[in-house]
């Protein structure tokens, strides 16, 4: 059993992979080590609460939803490695959600009525739920508390389209645009839920090569199993998806990867932790305890020495329920792209949970919320329910609680250098050279050739 107290207080200098040498400094949290770090199956087996001073949470239980994909690992690890219990959340539960729509419906219901208090979200679901935009008008204010992960997603293309130069740049956009003439149907692409990350990634990628995702192709939400079946039998052409699919698509001979999202936008924000605002307002110390546990889990996940154990934990029956060998390559940053593209083999190109080359992964930058909402304006999602950039900024100020992240980080003893000083990460650059300056979102919108705004 690892000695977490020693682990969490040490700086680790680790060599990553065989070639790349990367210093990963894991600055620890200050709480007391749990007496039992292996399993927390029920509150009765959890260690005694021993949180210093006035940090004792007002409540010890919370139910957090997760989707069984790599993005959810910090929540699962916080549970399985005893970090929730360490900070006093001895009754924290992580609850597998059937899909994004179920997660949304369950947070509207709330944990007291059999739903969830919060959990893992694609963006900008917390903002949309807050405004009642995707909940039939029912407004359930949410607080965004942390980013869970970066990268780990990609665009898969079916084998039928091999050899057509469909990569990060699409060499022959007319091949895709002419599909209706040549195939009797439009080029068909899928994501798992509309108007969120994976929809944004594939839209950005198509539009950068001059393909209008609303006009030149069919792009729709389809369950992953159905999408993959369609890719096998030649009725589905593209899939915007997350690990482990980018690996499986190639290893199972379904197709190839045109691009990884880390190539589209290096160190991009991916999924987030958000909890109902009424819960956080009622139990602010418990919210910070949850945050501290997730932060410690994120640091634990990023330590290469822990990846093997991480894979064992998340692949388990209650979680991803997949063979370990399926998620091992993506967790090592190993991707076979296929269709003549060079393979990727770089730990830092796989999912990262605590820090990446741009700094903090965990801290929820308001500038990233603004990109997601600006992109929402770009595609005129939700018939203009979010009116303009100013309305977006006001909504972000209500939903994004980076202040709680900072407080929790300080209380947990996270090094000052690991706590961003600004709510903006600054200018973001995409693979096609387009820049998003969070100070000038309207200029970004104006610069885009394909848009509905
Ligand atoms: Ca994702």
pLDDT band at 245 (very low <50, low <70, confident <90, very high): confident
Domain ranges of the chain: 34-150+269-322+354-364+400-418, 153-262
CA of 198 to the centre of ligand 1 (A): 6
CA of 262 to the centre of ligand 1 (A): 12
pLDDT band at residue 277 under the 50/70/90 scheme: very high
Using the mean position of ligand 1's atoms as its centre, give its distance from the Cα of residue 216 in Å.
24
Residue 408: how many CB atoms within 10 A of its CB?
27
Distance CA 210, CA 390 (A): 29
Give 17 or 392, the one with higher predicted confidence. Answer: 392
Two tokens, residue 365: 């930058």
Q: What percent of the chain has pLDDT over 70?
A: 88
Centroid of ligand 1 to alpha carbon of 123 (angstroms): 9
Q: How far is the CA of 94 from the centre of ligand 1 (A)?
A: 18
For residue 29, the model assigns a pLDDT of 33
What are 290-329's pLDDT values in tens digits? Answer: 999 999 999 999 999 999 999 999 999 999 999 999 899 9
Q: Which two tokens stand for residue 202?
A: 């594939």
pLDDT of residue 53: 55
**Which runs of E-coded beta strand occur in 113-268?**
118-121, 142-147, 153-158, 188-191, 218-221, 238-242, 255-260
Interstrand relation of 359-360 and 355-356 (parallel, antiparallel or unpaired): antiparallel
| CB atoms closer than 10 angstroms to residue 103 | 26
CA of 34 to the centre of ligand 1 (A): 31
Backbone phi and psi for residue 92, each to the nearest 5 degrees, phi listed first: -65, 135
Task: Measure 316 CA to ligand 1 centroid, in angstroms.
Answer: 20
Please tell me the distance from the alpha carbon of residue 365 to that of residue 32, in angstroms, as a whole number: 29
Angstrom distance (rounded) from CA 173 to CA 153 = 22
Q: How far is the CA of 71 from the centre of ligand 1 (A)?
A: 7
Residue 2: CB atoms within 10 A of its CB come to 14
292 alpha carbon – ligand 1 mean position (Å):
23
pLDDT category at 421 given cuts 50, 70, 90 is very high
pTM of full prediction above 0.85: yes
Average pLDDT over residues 223-244: 92
Q: Tokens 């190993």 identify what position? A: 334
CA of 18 to the centre of ligand 1 (A): 28
Q: How far apart are CA 446 and CA 442, in angstroms?
A: 6
Fold agreement (34-150+269-322+354-364+400-418, 153-262) = yes
* Å from CA of 203 to ligand 1 middle: 14
Ligand 1 centroid to Cα of residue 36, in Å, is 32
User: What does the CA dihedral 393, 399, 400, 403 come to, rounded to 10 degrees?
Assistant: 120
Quickly tell me which residue has 């209008």 as its tokens: 212
What is the pLDDT averaged over residues 206-233? 95
| 48 C-alpha to ligand 1 centroid (Å) | 35
Q: Ligand 1 centre from 245 Cα, in Å?
A: 11
Query: If you measure from the C-alpha of residue 169 to the centroid of ligand 1, how many angstroms do you get, rounded to a whole number?
Result: 21
> Ligand 1 centre from 407 Cα, in Å?
27
Q: Which residues surround ligand 1, an ion (CB under 5 A)?
A: 153, 242
Indicate the helix (H) or strand (E) that contains 48: none
Neighbours of 425 (CB within 10 A): 19
Whole-number Å distance between alpha carbons of 196 and 193:
7
6-10, 94-98, 217-221, 413-417: lowest mean pLDDT where?
Answer: 6-10
Length of the chain (residues): 453
CA of 125 relative to ligand 1 center, distance in Å: 12
Nearest Cα residue to 425 out of 380, 354, 364, 383: 364
For residue 28, what pLDDT is reported? 31
Determine the distance separating the centroid of ligand 1 and the alpha carbon of 2, expressed in angstroms: 30
Q: How far apart are CA 360 and CA 334, in angstroms?
A: 23
CATH of domain 153-262: 3.40.190.10
- In this structure, are residues 286 and 89 in contact, taking their beta carbons and an 8 Å threshold? yes
Cα 218 from chain centre: 25
* Ligand 1 midpoint to CA 35 (Å): 34
Gap from CA of 241 to ligand 1 centroid (Å): 7
CATH 3.40.190.10 corresponds to the domain 34-150+269-322+354-364+400-418: yes
Task: Please write the tens of the pLDDT for every residue from 366-408.
Answer: 999 999 999 999 999 999 999 999 999 999 999 999 999 999 9
Ligand 1: centre distance to CA 271 (Å)? 6
Return the pLDDT at 75.
Answer: 98
Distance 404 CA to ligand 1 centre (A): 24
Ligand 1 centre distance from Cα of residue 117 (Å): 20
247 pLDDT band, cuts 50/70/90, is confident
Task: Give residue 31 CA to ligand 1 midpoint distance, Å.
Answer: 31
Q: How far apart are CA 81 and CA 276, in angstroms?
A: 25
Spacing, Cα 270 to ligand 1 middle (Å): 6
- pLDDT of 9: 33
């Amino acid at each position: 059993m690892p000695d977490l107290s020693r682990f969490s207080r040490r700086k680790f200098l680790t060599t990553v992979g065989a070639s790349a040498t990367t210093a990963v400094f894991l600055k620890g949290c200050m709480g007391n080590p749990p007496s039992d770090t292996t399993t927390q199956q029920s509150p009765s087996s959890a260690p005694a609460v021993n949180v210093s001073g006035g940090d004792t949470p007002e409540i010890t239980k919370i139910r957090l939803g997760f989707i069984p994909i790599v993005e959810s690992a910090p929540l699962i690890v916080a549970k399985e490695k005893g970090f929730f219990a360490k900070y006093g959340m001895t009754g924290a539960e992580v609850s597998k959600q059937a899909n994004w729509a179920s997660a949304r419906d369950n947070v509207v219901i709330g944990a007291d009525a059999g739903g969830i208090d919060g959990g893992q979200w694609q963006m900008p679901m917390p903002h949309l739920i807050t405004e009642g935009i995707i909940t039939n008008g029912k407004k359930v204010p949410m607080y965004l508390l942390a980013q869970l992960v970066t990268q780990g997603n990609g665009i898969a293309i079916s084998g039928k389209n091999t050899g057509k130069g469909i990569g990060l740049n699409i060499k022959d956009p007319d091949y895709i645009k002419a599909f209706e003439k040549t195939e009797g149907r439009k080029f068909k692409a899928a994501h798992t839920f509309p108007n969120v990350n994976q929809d944004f990634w594939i839209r950005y990628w198509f539009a950068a090569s001059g393909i209008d995702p609303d006009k030149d192709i069919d792009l729709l939400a389809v369950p992953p199993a159905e999408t993959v079946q369609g890719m096998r039998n030649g009725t589905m052409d593209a899939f915007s998806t997350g690990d482990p699919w980018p690996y499986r698509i190639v290893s199972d001979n379904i197709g190839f990867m045109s691009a990884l999202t880390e190539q589209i936008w290096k160190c991009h924000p991916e999924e987030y932790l958000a909890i109902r605002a009424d819960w956080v307002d009622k139990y602010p110390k418990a919210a910070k305890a949850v945050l501290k546990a997730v932060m410690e889990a994120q640091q634990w996940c990023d330590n290469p020495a822990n990846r093997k154990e991480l894979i064992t934990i998340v692949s388990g029956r209650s979680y991803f329920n997949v063979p370990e060998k399926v998620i091992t390559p993506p967790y090592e940053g190993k991707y076979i792209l296929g269709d003549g593209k060079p393979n990727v083999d770089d730990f830092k190109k796989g999912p990262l949970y605590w820090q990446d080359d741009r700094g903090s992964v965990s801290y929820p930058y308001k500038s990233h919320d603004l990109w997601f909402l600006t992109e929402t304006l770009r595609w005129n999602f939700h018939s203009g329910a979010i009116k303009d950039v100013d309305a977006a900024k006001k909504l972000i100020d209500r939903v994004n609680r980076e202040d709680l992240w900072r407080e929790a980080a300080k209380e947990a003893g996270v090094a000052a250098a690991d706590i961003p000083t600004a709510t903006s990460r600054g200018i973001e650059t995409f693979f096609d050279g387009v820049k998003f300056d969070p100070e000038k979102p309207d200029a970004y919108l104006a610069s885009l050739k394909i848009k509905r705004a």
